[in-house]
Amino acid sequence: MTAATDDAAGTGLSTPRHSAADARSDSAAFAEEFRRAHRRGLRRAAWLRALLNVTGILLFLAVWEAVPRLGTWVNPVLLPPPSVVFDTFVPMLLSGEIPANILASLRRAALGFGIATATGVTAGLLTARIGLLHHVSEPILHGFRSVPSIALVPLSVLWFGIGEGSKVALVAWGSFFPIWITTFIGVRDVPAAYLRSAACLGAGRLATLLLVVLPAALPMILAGLRQGIAVSLILLVAAELSGAREGVAYMMSTGHQMFRVDIMLIGLVLLGTFGFIADRLFVALIRRLFPWYTTAS
């Protein structure tokens, strides 16, 4: 019995002349009031949280603004304050230079990450479900996995040139491994009770894979994808720094050549924002798509 109905019963006792219908409408009114108060509380907590978040950002900016002005121990050329960075940022934004670079980087990251997702999830599924494939591929996959992906930057430039190919390939390569390994673990560790239930209910191989194994492994797969997003960004930067004609990290390296720390800082902020927004979007999407996921585990 819920708190609301308990309370309604209590109200009924204190006023014994209540009819059953009255008691029911009382309890409905109480439930409505309870629900409204609960929602109000949640909203207030969310606002407070947002307010504190913004305060944190403002505090950080204030300290950063103050430090280069507070004496001689910080060179303002090496650490320009946010106001200076912002003054550089606005014209670059309006001229279309920054949007073009953002778009170039996003395209590479998305393409590479998409390829890694398709191949990584497939490889994870197959190696976890087919023992033969697992044992044959194990040493090679784990061997490659142990090579830091950044070490492949020069090779990738030789193989794929300095065009888009090498950048997309690097991003795909790097994020493939976390996606593959977590998918593998998730699929391998699907509880036996799920597989047995499916078999007892007449599910064949394909139905078991699509309707039972994949959803059961989904929490792990999603964790792998999230890790893959983070790795994508790292490799994106490494690839663009190794030679590119556009992109956020390319913009930073030109800033470096021109000794424009403000431009480099703009790049850093953009990259941080990318990562943050991608991660948040991802989490929100999961909540949307899989209502059982966040609360089930």
Partner 1 sequence: MSGPLIDFDRVSQIYAARDGSPVWALSDVSLRVEAGEFVCLIGPSGCGKSTLIHLLAGFLKPTSGAVRFRGRPLDGPGPDRGVVFQEYALFAWMTARQNVEFGLRMQRVSAPVRRRRALEALDRVGLRHAADRYPHELSGGMRQRVAVARALVVEPEVVLMDEPFAAVDAMTRTTLQEDLLRLWRETGVSVLFVTHNIDEAVFLAQRVVVMGAGPGVIREDLTVDLPYPRDRGSAEFGREYARIAAALARGSRGADQSDGERRAA
Q: What single-letter DSSP state applies at residue 79?
A: S
111 binds partner 1 (CB under 8 A): no
Q: Which is nearer to partner 1, 71 or 202 (CB)?
A: 202
Report the distance separating Cα 68 and Cα 75, nearest Å: 7
CB burial of residue 183 (10 Å; 0-12, 13-18, 19+): buried
Residue of 160, 114, 128, 123 whose CA lies nearest to 145: 123
Tokens found for residue 107: 């395209």
Nearer to partner 1, 190 or 238 (CB): 190
Select from 220, 226, 233, 212 the least CA-distant residue to 285: 226
Contact set for partner 1, span 178-197 (CB under 8 A): 191, 193-194, 196-197
Kindly tell me which residue out of 62, 199, 283, 284 binds partner 1, with binding defined by CB under 8 A: 199
The residue among 162 and 195 lying less far from partner 1, judged by its C-beta, is: 195
Our finding on whether 288 is near partner 1 (CB under 8 A) is no
If the CB atoms of residues 10 and 131 are measured against partner 1, the closer one turns out to be 131
Smallest separation, CB 239 to partner 1 (Å): 37
- Nearer to partner 1 by Cβ, of 79 and 214: the residue is 214
Q: Which two tokens stand for residue 155?
A: 């090779």
Question: Is-contact 253 265, C-beta < 8 A?
Answer: no
Q: Is 203 in the site for partner 1 (CB under 8 A)?
A: yes
- Select from 204, 205, 257, 288 the one that contacts partner 1 (CB under 8 A): 204
CA–CA separation, 79 and 84 (whole Å)? 10
Give the type of residue at 95.
Answer: S
Site string for partner 1, 213-242 (x = CB under 8 A): --xx-x------------------------
Residue 206 interacts with partner 1 (CB under 8 A)?
Answer: no
Q: Based on CB atoms, which residue is closest to partner 1, 201 or 281? A: 201
User: Tokens 């720390």 belong to which residue?
Assistant: 261
Of 26-34, 149-157, 208-216, 260-268, which segment contacts partner 1 by CB under 8 A?
A: 208-216
One DSSP character per residue, 72-127 reads SSS-TTTS--HHHHHHHHHHHHHTTHHHHHHHHHHHHHHHHHHHHHHHHHHHHHHH
* Under rule CB under 8 A, residue 3 binds partner 1: no
Least spacing, CB of residue 217 vs partner 1, in Å: 11
Q: Is 277 in the site for partner 1 (CB under 8 A)?
A: no
User: Residue 295 corresponds to which amino acid?
Assistant: T
Q: Does 70 bind partner 1 (CB under 8 A)?
A: no
Residues that bind partner 1 (CB under 8 A): 191, 193-194, 196-204, 207, 211-212, 215-216, 218, 290-293, 295-296
